[in-house]
Amino acid sequence: MKKEIDNKLNLKNIKPTAMRQLVLQVLTEQKTAISLPELEQKFEKADKATLYRTLKTFQENKLIHSIEDGSGSLRYALCQDNCECDPEDLHVHFLCTNCNQTFCLKDIPVPTINLPSSFSLESVNMVVKGVCSNCKK
């Protein structure tokens, strides 16, 4: 639904250009997190730099979050509705070592840990690796 897409963009103060609509469409349909190279492949003919900057804009405006899953490329997924990407908003991610897909475990918050008081905390990246439900057959 075109209207939905535009609403989402407007809500985050992102001008709804054609490119951005298309990218958000793809992100919305995705069940797993997607990387820049993977996103590139979803289009017949699209420029990597434009997609790169689109993702960057989306992330700066907290429409998506990025995941350092150790797969070799950063992956991205839509944020929850009220996400501010603060430590308490974060969830655990899961990388399947068989199909190489990354899942947002949205209902598993990142556990709080007690840092030595001399360290201050800004964010946490927690990635669990193993075999996903699809691959466990």
Residues that bind Mn ion (CB under 5 A): 77, 104
Binding to DNA, residues 42-101 (CB under 7 A): 45-50, 52-54, 56-57, 72-74
**Residue 88 touching its own copies (CB under 8 A):** no
Q: Kindly report the number of other CB atoms within 10 A of residue 32's CB atom.
A: 19
The tokens for 38 are: 């993977």
**Residue 116 touching its own copies (CB under 8 A):** yes
Least separation in angstroms between residue 48's CB and DNA is 5
CA–CA gap between residue 39 and residue 65 (Å, rounded) = 15
Residue 95 to residues 8, 18, 23, 67, Cα–Cα distance (Å) = 27, 31, 23, 10
Q: Which spans of this chain sit near its own copies (rule: CB under 8 A)?
A: 68-70, 92, 94, 97, 105, 108, 111, 113-116, 118-133, 136
